[in-house]
Amino acid sequence: MTQAIMLQGTASDVGKSVLVAGLCRIFHQDGLRVAPFKSQNMALNSGITPAGHEMGRAQIFQAQAAGITPDVRMNPILLKPTSDRKAQVVLMGKVATDMDAVHYHDYKPRLREHVRQAWQSLAQEYDVLVLEGAGSPAEINLRDRDIVNMGMAEMATCPVLLVADIDRGGVFAAIYGTLALLQAHERWRVKGVIINKFRGDVALLTPGIRQIEALTGVPVVGVMPWLEVDLEEEDGVALQRVHPLRTGEREITIAVVQLPHIANFTDFNALAAQPDVHVRYVRSVAQLEGADLLILPGSKNTLADLCWLRESGLANAVLKAHRAGVPVFGICGGYQMLGETLIDEVESGLGQLPGLGLLDTQTRFAHTKTTTQVTASFADTLPGWLAACGGLTLHGYEIHMGETTLQGDAAPPLWLHKAGGRVAEGAISDDGLVFGTYLHGLFDNDEFTRALINSLRQRKGLPALDSALNYARYKAQQFDLLADAMRQHLDIERIYQIMQQHQEPVC
């Protein structure tokens, strides 16, 4: 019979996603068939399964930690915010509708059966499922229709571990307050607490741990230190933090514009992992100074972000940098912004707007979203500094609602390999300084990324680095480091016992 454990948090960004990945890795190392599960994820970082379904990136990297292929059943509902009040609802990997928070709350009971079916289907195939909650179970205003925290734990009849972030302060109040706001049958389900992101001597915490255990009756199963492991972050707040493994002198600086609705910033993890690259997320003109490459990333509201780009002065700064010879990349929404014209009556409703005019393209938004994994090849001959990338093969994925067409004599830099022949993809300027593509995940391709960075090094008079980073192996190493740390600092045997001995109460 499938065993399960669920991690819920005292708040968002307490580290649930990473700890779920770590448990998946531990169970996988222990020879169990394990899968992650998050019934409802709100994120602008998403990916595409081999079957062409869209799902949250967090569950994708958790599946990778578990040594399995990502499956949309692991994240049946994905909410992609398009504004402060509205989100696109992706159900079982396909767009279902767009709605505001109030209407979505009313809509959730209709989604419960989809969640149940996805859960039960996975439970028939795996030995262990590791569930992740969202936000906090103490959001009592949402409890009556909850399908992601205690409502999901009840549906799965599984025990819960509560994760609390000590780095933000007030950890004991957060633990006590969360448990106090739960109903009695919900508190019964919480079998342990994990204190996360601790810096310092854990002995100083001992008196507080003993008191919180006495006050709540819930044991603390471990204190996780602040870890220096390089893993994907789910929340955009992570872009404001400097990762300790990415500090120090780096010879190449790549500036990624942090758009208000930035999507799929995980595209740049492989760049940031390179030993000679500093990835800088920028929101002001001054921060562009000194960049060797500028990147306009994906966006969930392209035209609104294009307006912000102009209002912030960054649009003119990008054009000025381009005139000074700095290469400019655009991915997905960023690619669309680099063109001459964007026409959107679907996503933002802003109609027609001029783009930055660096590529001779026109984009028209459509109701149908393209979601697919792809293999592509660069043209044999590429202009300018990108010449070293000519002929290389890429693997990536597409997630977009716009269709971009080349105007005039513009030539595509890429060809997609699809049934029936090759399909042109992307656009490049005559001098090679401006490049746009719909391909997400292109920097996960080791040979291409090293060729690209070495071309930037050559432009600065620096010698090339011979060997390319094996990014897949690098990620696997980070998963193992995470698992090792969790085995050291958590009572994993106790967690196994919690799963094995869990019995639902007889009503």
With a cut of 90, say whether residue 392 has pLDDT above it: yes
Place of tokens 């509560």: 162
With a cut of 90, say whether residue 502 has pLDDT above it: no
Q: Where does 249-392 show beta strands of DSSP type E?
A: 252-257, 262-263, 277-282, 293-296, 298-299, 328-331, 341-344, 351-354, 361-378
pLDDT of residue 246: 53
Question: Can you tell me the mean pLDDT for 471-481?
Answer: 96
Q: Look at 402 and 148; give whichever has higher pLDDT.
A: 148
Residues with Cβ within 8 Å of 227's Cβ and at least 6 positions away in sequence, in order, are 18, 481, 482, 485
What percentage of the chain exceeds 90 in pLDDT?
83
Q: Do domains 3-231+476-501 and 252-461 have the same CATH topology?
A: yes
**Distance from C-alpha of 502 to C-alpha of 3, rounded to nearest angstrom:** 9
Question: Can you tell me the mean pLDDT for 217-233?
Answer: 92
**Distance from C-alpha of 102 to C-alpha of 97, rounded to nearest angstrom:** 14
Half-sphere exposure for 406 (CA within 13 Å, toward CB) = 17
Tens-digit pLDDT profile for residues 38-82: 999 999 899 999 999 999 999 999 999 999 999 999 999 999 998
SS3 of the chain: helix, strand, coil, percent, to 5: 35, 30, 35
For the ranges 179-183, 328-332, 341-345, the lowest mean pLDDT is seen at: 341-345
Confidence of residue 401 (pLDDT cuts 50, 70, 90): confident
pLDDT of residue 241: 52
For residue 82, give the H/E element and its range. Answer: none
Question: Can you tell me the mean pLDDT for 462-478?
Answer: 94
Whether 103 is catalytic: no
For the ranges 79-88, 146-155, 317-326, the lowest mean pLDDT is seen at: 79-88
Tens-digit pLDDT profile for residues 91-112: 999 999 999 989 999 999 999 9
Locate 191 and state its tokens: 């079998």
Q: Are 129 and 35 in contact (CB under 8 A)?
A: yes
Confidence of residue 240 (pLDDT cuts 50, 70, 90): low
| Active-site residue, from 28, 261, 400, 440 | 440
For residue 86, give the H/E element and its range. Answer: strand 86-91
Question: Can you tell me the mean pLDDT for 305-314?
Answer: 96
The DSSP letter of residue 6 is E
With a cut of 70, say whether residue 251 has pLDDT above it: yes
With a cut of 70, say whether residue 236 has pLDDT above it: no
pLDDT of residue 242: 53
Confidence of residue 385 (pLDDT cuts 50, 70, 90): very high
In 3D space, the residue among 162, 166, 178, 159 whose CA is nearest the CA of residue 224 turns out to be 166
Q: Look at 425 and 232; give whichever has higher pLDDT.
A: 425
In 3D space, the residue among 128, 125, 25 whose CA is nearest the CA of residue 500 turns out to be 128
With a cut of 70, say whether residue 238 has pLDDT above it: no
Question: Can you tell me the mean pLDDT for 162-182?
Answer: 96
For the ranges 68-72, 285-289, 399-403, the lowest mean pLDDT is seen at: 399-403
| Cα torsion 108, 43, 471, 478: sign | negative
| Active-site residue, from 278, 332, 389, 400 | 332
In 3D space, the residue among 26, 153, 38, 36 whose CA is nearest the CA of residue 496 turns out to be 26
Q: Are 142 and 109 in contact (CB under 8 A)?
A: no
pLDDT of residue 159: 97
Half-sphere exposure for 176 (CA within 13 Å, toward CB) = 12
Q: Are 299 and 334 in contact (CB under 8 A)?
A: yes
Please give the CATH topology (third level) of the domain spanning 3-231+476-501.
Rossmann fold (3.40.50)
CATH tag, 252-461:
3.40.50.880
Backbone phi and psi for residue 273, each to the nearest 5 degrees, phi listed first: -80, -10
Question: Can you tell me the mean pLDDT for 337-344?
Answer: 94
Instruction: Please report, for the chain, the start and end positions of each structural domain, with discontinuous segments joined by +.
Output: 3-231+476-501, 252-461
Q: What is the mean pLDDT of the chain?
A: 93
**Distance from C-alpha of 175 to C-alpha of 180, rounded to nearest angstrom:** 9
Q: Are 362 and 404 in contact (CB under 8 A)?
A: yes
With a cut of 70, say whether residue 397 has pLDDT above it: yes
Locate 255 and state its tokens: 């500036």
Judged by DSSP in three states, 464 sits in coil
Confidence of residue 410 (pLDDT cuts 50, 70, 90): confident
With a cut of 80, say whether residue 468 has pLDDT above it: yes
pLDDT of residue 418: 84
Confidence of residue 345 (pLDDT cuts 50, 70, 90): confident
pLDDT of residue 249: 79
Distances (CA, A) of 96 to 37, 117, 134: 20, 17, 21
Residues shown for the chain: 507
Whether 307 is catalytic: no
